[in-house]
Amino acid sequence: MIMTLRETMDELQELEAEFNKLAIADFTIPTYSYVSVVELSNYLAGESNEDPYQNPHVRARLYPELPRSKYVCFYPMDKRRQGNDNWYMLSMDERKSLMRSHGMIGRGYAGKVKQIITGSVGFDDHEWGVTLFADDVLQFKKLVYEMRFDEVSARYGEFGAFFVGNLLDNDKLVTFLTV
* Active-site residue list: 75
User: Amino acid letter at 53?
Assistant: Y
Radius of gyration over every alpha carbon of the chain, rounded to an integer in angstroms:
18
Alpha helices in 80-137 (DSSP H): 92-107
Please give the DSSP secondary-structure letter assigned to residue 124: S
CA distance 55 to 61: 10
Taking the alpha carbons at both ends of the chain, their separation in whole angstroms is 19
Helices (H) and strands (E) in the chain, counts: 6, 8
Whole-number Cα distances in Å, 154 to 8, 102, 126, 129, 146: 34, 11, 17, 18, 10
> Which residues lie below 8 Å from residue 146, measured CB to CB, with a gap of 6+?
105, 108
